[in-house]
Amino acid sequence: MDIEQIVQMLIPTVKEVIGGMLMMSNSGVIGGMREAGAIAKYLKSGAQELGGNPIIGGLVEGLLGEGGSLELPDITAIDVTTLFNKVGGAANALSGVEGGDQVKQFIYGLAEQIAGASGGGLFGGGQKVSAGEQQYLEGLRAMLGI
């Protein structure tokens, strides 16, 4: 599989990883704005810091699309078990690919960034990572094999 094929295979899965994390956060309007900011910041920094990894560069470009905005699937339709199976398949495809471990870390780091962006309570100032988010992160880590 060449780099472009890997990137095209990963884009929908990474979008679902983001959507799944947003679903688990259930953070409200202000928290959602913080999470959107965290996603944008992480993608921008990932593109800059890991731009030497062509898979990550392609992922960031593909996630943001031509208009520079991220389009996510309907988060209410995401089934976490199915998603984690997709993540496991993506992790297997990345095994043995140059820079594949870095891509796995990038995907996990993105979810982790979203989880820490907002907390519970009024205006998102409470506990940053809920039990549901932590469980999601643990499952994601396991499926990525990191």
Helix (H) or strand (E) holding 92: helix 80-94
141 Cβ neighbours under 8 A, 6+ residues apart: 108
The predicted structure's pLDDT at residue 34: 84
Output the average pLDDT for the chain: 87
The whole-angstrom separation of Cα 89 and Cα 125 is 36
Instruction: Give the start-to-end residue ranges of the domains of the chain.
Output: 3-144
Pick from 70, 61, 74, 85: nearest CA to 13: 85
Residue 111 has φ and ψ, to the nearest 5°, of: -65, -40
Pick from 57, 70, 64: nearest CA to 4: 57
The predicted structure's pLDDT at residue 56: 94
Which residue has tokens 């940053």?
A: 128
Which residue has tokens 């549901």?
A: 132
| Least confident residue range of 71-75, 84-88, 118-122 | 118-122
Indicate the pLDDT class of residue 128, thresholds 50, 70 and 90: low
Q: What is the DSSP letter of 68?
A: T
pLDDT for 14-64, tens place per residue? Answer: 999 999 998 888 776 667 788 888 898 999 887 677 768 999 999 999 998
The answer to whether residue 81 scores a pLDDT higher than 90 is: yes
The answer to whether residue 123 scores a pLDDT higher than 60 is: no
pLDDT for 105-122, tens place per residue? Answer: 999 999 999 998 876 555
Indicate the pLDDT class of residue 95, thresholds 50, 70 and 90: very high
The predicted structure's pLDDT at residue 146: 92
The predicted structure's pLDDT at residue 121: 53
